[in-house]
């Protein structure tokens, strides 16, 4: 699966162009649709094993950032990829419109508050990148952030991207493995998924009129995503431009990328010290003595 992961990994934004990535790609010569379910099940099982070691070792944490246009499948990806992982070791944070409290702080504040503890996997469903995506597409939202007017200049987006890159460099130096996924959906596939939601009553709740109005800004969002990925892709905080027109393939790429990152950590269950072994032996003797009534 590493070959698949490398296909979509971006560690250097120089020359990055979103148009070079096909949302319909399924690495056909490497993956067959009929094998996908078995591959995903195997990946989920392997991820579960690694997550247990991550939790036991209690040294590293993993932050998975999921960004995408509406209907790209973020929720479904989280559901399927994390289906076999112990929920005690995973936390999911959804970044919706910021609260008044969040707007009274710097734009990274709510991301910092939601960072995973050591031994845990944290998932950001949308993230701190919203402030260089949605806010960039709708700059009038800057008015709600209570910034001093002299700090809102023409360089604000490059400055924010610089701050994000520095933030993620800091996290890497603190033992946080940062993995960022852009679920790359085509405009035509989004149209089909929106229609599917409107044709089935049990999917009405998934559709909002705002989804359609945001679709009108498609080109602006693509530009914002391209700028964000190009400015913040690095070896310590890579982006994965994941084809999202086929949900089964999206899930395979995401689980493979997380597994690849965890395997690189050489995770191990901690070995007990001599004192701990002595205490364990004493506990065993005491428990066995209970059975014999000694």
Q: Tens digit of pLDDT for each residue in 20-78?
A: 999 999 988 677 888 899 999 999 999 999 999 999 999 999 999 999 999 999 999 99
Where b means 16+ CB within 10 Å and e means fewer, 148-160 reads eeeeeeeebbeeb
Which pTM value belongs to this model? 0.92
Bridge partners of residue 122, in order along the sequence: 63, 91
Angle at 63 between CA 57 and CA 66, to 5 degrees: 150
Contacts of 59 (CB under 8 A, 6+ apart): 118, 119, 175
Q: Domain spans of the chain?
A: 2-292
| CATH class of the domain at 2-292 | alpha beta
Share of the chain above pLDDT 70, in %: 98
Mean pLDDT of 275-294: 86
Bridge partners of residue 92, in order along the sequence: 123
Give yes or no for residue 1 having a pLDDT over 80: no
Q: Kindly report the average pLDDT of the chain as a whole number.
A: 94
């Amino acid at each position: 699966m590493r070959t698949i992961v490398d296909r979509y990994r971006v560690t250097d934004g120089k020359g990055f162009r979103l148009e070079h990535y096909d949302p319909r790609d399924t690495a056909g010569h490497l993956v067959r649709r009929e094998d996908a379910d078995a591959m995903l099940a195997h990946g989920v099982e392997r991820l579960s094993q690694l997550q247990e070691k991550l939790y036991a070792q209690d040294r590293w944490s993993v932050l998975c950032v999921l960004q995408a246009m509406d209907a790209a499948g973020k929720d479904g990806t989280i559901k399927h990829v994390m289906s076999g992982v112990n929920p005690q070791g995973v936390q999911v944070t959804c970044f919706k419109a910021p609260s008044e409290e969040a707007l009274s702080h710097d734009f990274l504040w709510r991301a910092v508050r939601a960072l995973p503890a050591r031994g845990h996997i944290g998932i950001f469903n949308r993230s701190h990148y919203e402030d260089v995506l949605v806010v960039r597409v709708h700059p009038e939202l800057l008015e709600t952030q209570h910034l001093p007017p002299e700090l809102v200049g023409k360089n604000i987006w490059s400055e924010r991207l610089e701050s994000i890159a520095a933030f993620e460099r800091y996290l890497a130096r603190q033992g946080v493995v940062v993995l960022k996924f852009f679920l790359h959906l085509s405009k035509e596939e989004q149209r089909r998924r929106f229609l599917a939601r409107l044709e089935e009553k049990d999917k009405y709740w998934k559709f909002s009129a705002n989804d359609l109005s945001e679709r009108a800004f498609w080109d602006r969002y693509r530009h914002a995503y391209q700028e964000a990925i190009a400015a913040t892709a690095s070896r310590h905080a890579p982006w994965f431009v994941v084809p999202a027109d086929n949900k089964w393939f999206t899930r395979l790429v995401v689980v493979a990328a997380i597994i690849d990152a965890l395997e690189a950590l050489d995770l191990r269950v901690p070995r007990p010290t001599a004192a701990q072994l002595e205490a364990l032996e004493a506990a065993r003797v005491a428990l066995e003595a209970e059975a014999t009534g000694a």
